[in-house]
Amino acid sequence: MTRSSVQGENTRKGASDAPGRAETPVARADGTEGTEGAEGEAGTPGATSAAGTPSTAGTDDGDGGAEAVRRRPRRGRRALRWTAVTLAVLIVGTASAGYLYYEHLNDNIKKVPLNLGDSKVAPPTPNAAGQTPLNILVIGSDARDNEENQQLGGARETFGSTPLADVQMLVHLSADRSNMSVVSMPRDTLVEIPRCTDPDDGKVYPASEGRTMTNQSLGHGGPGCTVATWQELTGIHIDHFMMVDFAGVVSMADAVGGVPVCVDANIHSRDSQGHGSGLKLEKGTHPIKGEQALQWLRTRYGFEDGSDLARAEAQHMYLNSMVRTLRENATLSSPNKLRRLAEEATGALTVDPGLDTVKKLYDLSNELRGVKPERITMTTMPNRYVGARVEPTEDAEQLFRLVREDIALDGKDAKKTPDDEPKVSDDPAAADDEIAVQVRNGTRTDRLGVARGRATTVAGLLVEQGFAKAVADSSVLLSEDRTVVRYPSADLEGDARRIAKSLEIPKSSVSRSTGVSGVTLVVGADWREGTAYKAPATDDKTPESAEALNGADEDACMHVNPAFTWS
């Protein structure tokens, strides 16, 4: 299969968290009213989910939750917006209508640039069949920019404030379109936000000084800065993004007709001080929709240990179930229901120009629909606490590498043959003494400091082998798990591969990147000493800390905290 036409209609032709948000009355599942902080269960939707598109849910705030927050800092993994995007992608293109209605739906879709950063990550090299993977970043915004968003998000004093990217989820569709992997990133992950330029007014947001919360990237010019931030962190080329806010999510959940969820005991997510989502369900499996679906996706009080990890698990279960429901639910064949869904979905989306029409979304839906639930794997970026925030771990880099190399997270990839290997450039390498290569030290890890002098040592090895233009760049200290060779353009691929071969660095460690200006060898943490490189055994298993959940798991059932049960 060639690259999807979602790249364009004619491709085949040619620092700190937001301030506390006030509590706002919200409806409970049992019809009574309670209050929620804006970042509480019914206060701020957002979350993480994964199944073929993203999710949303919120984090709890308020005096009653302060002690719990100190014990286990919040990790907003908001999933509700995942629902909106899934519906948009899977269904929006099937609503039959005339040309004018088609144009009306196109006009509903908001479009902004894909990447607002300065550096770009080159697309992956096609495999032997000419296929490349597709990476879509799904963003859930907490914008309170209209009355409907304000009502759903609460916190009146934050109306019109700078939006936060409270859901960030990468959807990876494999090159052969056989499997899908989803990686969600906690909203409070500490990252370095790159320099971004606002496309509307040309305002330049300088790169962050040190690390700041990833959800603040959206306020640096729009979703294109969130894309740039992800690419800087992961090295993964992102083809598209889709962003959705609070509005339209509940009505789209209604249009699906209900999604089955399971709890192992009666649950009421409400504590003595009124904090919680208000979710009230009896033990067993029940179809939920509308406000009740919103409550499920935001529930923290009542699931397992009350942490955002438990909330993320509930969101993943919901999304798995929703994907199965969409594939099986015949009621969605109703033209009226499809039109309603198309209206809600297109009105809720902001996309890059590559997805800015119903046709492009429909083409994408056809790509995604071909993946069976059992080949969908949803994960959360492995992380650890840094005070009240989190940061990626070594396992996170392992997860990112698997995505970069298009290795299925479910471990079911067929064994590769020589014919499956990526195509290598026909451009020959220059003579050894004419190849300019810069060597950098990337031996620093989270547990070990920099191994001094490694760039100089390895540059010396290259000079001894005849690479007279090899030089050490000691001005930049990096952190790389593995030794890698990078090159900026196709005309230097041959040179990069020649350098790698001379040091017995495997082909898989050679990649194209616009983050370098010439052939660059980064000595990784796997080569902290010695003069002979020995590539570590390749581990292509998804880290356990990624909490992988298979899309076909129909037996998943949320464990209810005994403090939130009822009889």
pLDDT tens track for 527-541:
999 999 998 887 889
Residues of the chain with CATH 3.40.630.190: 45-404
Identify the band that residue 356 occupies on the pLDDT scale cut at 50, 70 and 90. very high
pLDDT score at 418: 53
pLDDT score at 348: 79
pLDDT score at 318: 83
pLDDT score at 334: 65
Identify the band that residue 286 occupies on the pLDDT scale cut at 50, 70 and 90. very high
Which residue type, as a one-letter code, is found at position 363?
Answer: D
Cα distance between residue 186 and residue 396, in whole Å: 12
Q: Is residue 74 scored above 70 in pLDDT?
A: no
Helices 394-404 and 223-234 pack at an angle, to 10 degrees, of 100
Region 112-140: what's the mean pLDDT?
88
Cα distance between residue 343 and residue 88, in whole Å: 9
Helix, strand or coil, per DSSP, at residue 267: strand
Identify the band that residue 5 occupies on the pLDDT scale cut at 50, 70 and 90. very low
Cα distance between residue 406 and residue 131, in whole Å: 11
Residues of the chain with CATH 3.30.70.2390: 432-527
Identify the band that residue 429 occupies on the pLDDT scale cut at 50, 70 and 90. very high
- Burial of 374-397, coded b for 16+ CB within 10 Å and e otherwise, reads ebbbbbbbbbeeeeebbbbbbbbb
Question: What is the rounded end-to-end Cα distance, in angstroms, of the chain?
Answer: 55
What values do phi and psi take at 307, rounded to 5? -95, 170
Q: Which contiguous run of DSSP H or E holds residue 395?
A: helix 394-404
Identify the band that residue 35 occupies on the pLDDT scale cut at 50, 70 and 90. very low
Q: Is residue 241 scored above 80 in pLDDT?
A: yes
Region 397-419: what's the mean pLDDT?
84
Helix, strand or coil, per DSSP, at residue 433: helix
Q: What burial class does residue 455 get, using C-beta atoms within 10 Å of its C-beta: 0-12 exposed, 13-18 middle, 19+ buried?
A: buried
Cα distance between residue 461 and residue 441, in whole Å: 14
Taken as a whole, the chain contains a residue count of 567
Which residue type, as a one-letter code, is found at position 552?
Answer: A
pLDDT tens digits, 185-218: 888 899 999 999 999 999 999 999 999 999 999 9
pLDDT score at 490: 84
Secondary structure, 3-state, 188-244: CEEECCCCEECCCCCCEECCCCCCEEHHHHHHCCCHHHHHHHHHHHHCCCCCEEEEE
pLDDT tens digits, 542-553: 999 998 989 888
The chain-wide mean pLDDT, for the chain, equals 78
- Which of the residue ranges 160-174, 293-307, 514-528 has the most confident prediction, judged by mean pLDDT? 514-528
Q: Which CATH superfamily is domain 45-404 in?
A: LCP protein (3.40.630.190)
Q: Is residue 422 scored above 80 in pLDDT?
A: no
Residue 377 in contact with residue 551, Cβ under 8 Å? yes
Helix, strand or coil, per DSSP, at residue 85: helix
Least confident of 7-11, 24-28, 74-78, 528-532: 24-28
Provide the token pair at 25: 């009355």
Fold of the domain spanning 432-527: Alpha-Beta Plaits (3.30.70)
Cα distance between residue 205 and residue 273, in whole Å: 41
pTM above threshold 0.95: no
Q: Is residue 330 scored above 50 in pLDDT?
A: no
pLDDT score at 552: 86
CA-closest candidate to residue 270, choices 481, 68, 567, 563: 563
Identify the band that residue 565 occupies on the pLDDT scale cut at 50, 70 and 90. very high
Residue 188 in contact with residue 390, Cβ under 8 Å? yes
Identify the band that residue 88 occupies on the pLDDT scale cut at 50, 70 and 90. low
Region 228-255: what's the mean pLDDT?
80
Cα distance between residue 318 and residue 309, in whole Å: 14
CA 287 to chain CA centroid, Å, is 27
